[in-house]
Structures are given as C-alpha cells and as structure tokens.
Amino acid sequence: MTSPLKICDNYPLIEKNTLGLPSTARCYAEVNTIAELQSALTFAREKRLPVIPLGGGSNVVLGDFLNALVVHVNLKGRTVLSRDQDCVRVRAEAGENWHEFVLWSLSNEAYGLENLSLIPGAVGAAPIQNIGAYGVELKDSFVSLEAMNLESGLVEYFDRQNCGFGYRDSVFKREKRDQYIIVSVTLDLDATLKPNLGYGQLGDLVARRLGGRAPSAVDISQAVCDIRREKLPDPSEVGNAGSFFKNPEVSSSEMDRLKQAYPDIVAYPVGQNWKLAAGWLIDQSGLKGMREGAVGTYQYQALVLVNHGGATGQDVLSFSSMIQQKVNDKFGVLLEREPRVYMESPQAGLRS
C-alpha cells in the first residue's frame, strides 16, 4: 500500500529557487509519481488553491507569500526508446536535471544537445521556455511531451505543432498557461555528431583547444560549460536566475535607426527582422555591475540579475523595471523579462 501524499503547510522556498528569495508557500508537496501528482491536484481543487509547479526553481521570481499549492515535480527516468543509423529517440521525465540529461544523452551516443549543456533547471521546464543557447534550441530536436491537465488530472499529448514554439516561448507561456504540468519530454537526437559551432565564441574556443582535430560532443559540451561558467555566476554562490531578459527583436527600419545612432550595436538578422543583444543594451545604459540594495547586475554579464543577499521578489522586480526604463529611455527598446513571476497582492492575487 502506498503512503498518502505529504502536504506541508507554510513551507519555506528560499532553498527551492536559484535567486535565493525568501518565500513561503501556503501548501507544498513533492511528487514522485503520476499518482502523487494527481493526488496533489485533487487536494488543490478541494481547497480551491491555485497550483504552482516548481522544478529546479531556476527561472522564477517568487513573492514573499504564495497563497497556493506549490508542487515540486520530482518525476525521474531517462530512456532510449529507439535507435537507427540516423536517429536516437529518447525520453526523460520532467524532474530530471537538464544538464545531467544532456550528459546522459552524450554517453548514450545521442547527439544534438551538447550546445545546451549547463543550462540550469529541470527537463519539464525546457519546452515551456524553449530553452536555447549557442545556435541550438530545444524545438530543433523536440518530438512530443506529456502534460497533466490541472483541471481533469488526465495526461495529454502535445506534438511540436501543438506546442507553438517561439523564441524562449511556447503555448505553455501563452494560451495554455497555468493549465498543465509537464510530466515527460521525448526528443529525436542524432546518431552521429553534427557539430554546431556557428556561435563565434564557441567555435573559436573549440578551434583553439583542438587545433585541427575534429571535436567530440564532449569537447563541445565542455567548451559550452566553460563559457557559461565564465559569464554566469554559480547560483550556489550568488543568487541568480540566469539571463533575466530576452534579446529583443526589432524591424529592419528600427534597426536602421539604431545603427545610425549606435554604429557598434550588437545585433544579428532573424528573417526580416533583427535580434538585439539585451546584455549590450543594458551595458551601454551604464548598468553593468550596478547595485541597488541587495539586487544588482552581474559584473561580468549585465543580462544577469543577482541577489547579493537579503533581496525579496519585489526588490528584484523593482530593479528589473528600472533597467527596462533606462534601456527604453536610451534606445527606445523595451526589454521583456524571461523568468516567470509569482507575486501576490490582496487586489491581484497570483500574477506574473
């Protein structure tokens, strides 16, 4: 007989989010099976509580008190489903650590995720954000996912088209928001390595290290890890949520205006538009390494907001709003936050 699901009241979340923000959940449950997740959702419906899923806690800003059931998704498992000369199909449960899953895939001679090494968080969050780095996005290898409907408790299937992937975006951040908890992800990876070294810094680093030797997937993964460690602070040492803002996209006419005013602006073409480097915009606004109270921008990467100790979720939001205003004042470009925001006020309730 299985033991009943444990629900904790007034549970502290400071150790459950990489920004290290002090937050308390009215109710909290860790779920290790589909049945436990269904039990948690039944509890939330009975208590009329909203549900907040939490994986690695690496892409959230939490308020002081969440009047909700916070569900830590701890579903585990990694499987090679099939293999032929071209493709290796793999499946991972939502609670698996993303970086460990990448390393596991490489050890199983399944390639394509090496550029996504060391991205913090859990597998279940990867499709929500359509995570990407160094010229690769999750959608490039995505086949499908399974997600539990919060209302019915039933597990539903989503293929790539159903997910509506965009730049750091999916239907789970838009029309399907707050309606599902992802429980597993299936990917098609390459049976032979096809190095993607188009991102300048990555290609240069690999070339310097290896000379004329062709890189292995592990070589590429290690180079990505080293670049990320050089640019991004370790959350165990300095609270942060990684890149805090999306790289904004502007039209060609808007790009012409910016280029005329700022000839050295960092940007690259995306179809008919241009993607701007948000970190460069923040840096050029004089905000790199800036600090207000306990919150600041990271001294080596302006795109990262850090908690120097004692910051609250509201502190982080206020600081990020100041950055948005300064960048907009200087460049006429509005930055969009990447992390999901969970705050509560008597008027608004949970919002983001």
Question: How far apart (Å, rounded) are the C-alpha atoms in residues 230 and 245?
Answer: 19
Predicted pLDDT of residue 54:
92
- Tens-place pLDDT, residues 2-40: 567 999 999 999 999 999 999 999 999 999 999 999 999
Q: Are 16 and 8 in contact (CB under 8 A)?
A: no
Domain ranges of the chain: 8-75, 78-190, 245-336
Predicted pLDDT of residue 31:
96
Range 234-246 average pLDDT: 91
Question: How far apart (Å, rounded) are the C-alpha atoms in residues 266 and 278?
Answer: 9
The phi, psi pair for 24, rounded to 5°, reads -125, 130
> What is the domain class of 245-336 according to CATH?
alpha beta
Instruction: Point out the least confidently predicted range of 151-165, 228-242, 329-343.
Output: 228-242
CA atoms within 13 A on the CB side of 16: 21
C-alpha torsion 328→349→167→222, nearest 10: 100
> What is the domain class of 78-190 according to CATH?
alpha beta
Residue 296 CB coordination number (10 Å): 20
Percent of the chain with pLDDT over 70: 97
Q: For the domain made up of 8-75, give the CATH fold.
A: 3.30.43
- Tens-place pLDDT, residues 250-293: 999 999 999 999 999 999 898 899 999 999 999 999 999 999 99
The set of catalytic residues is 168, 243, 338
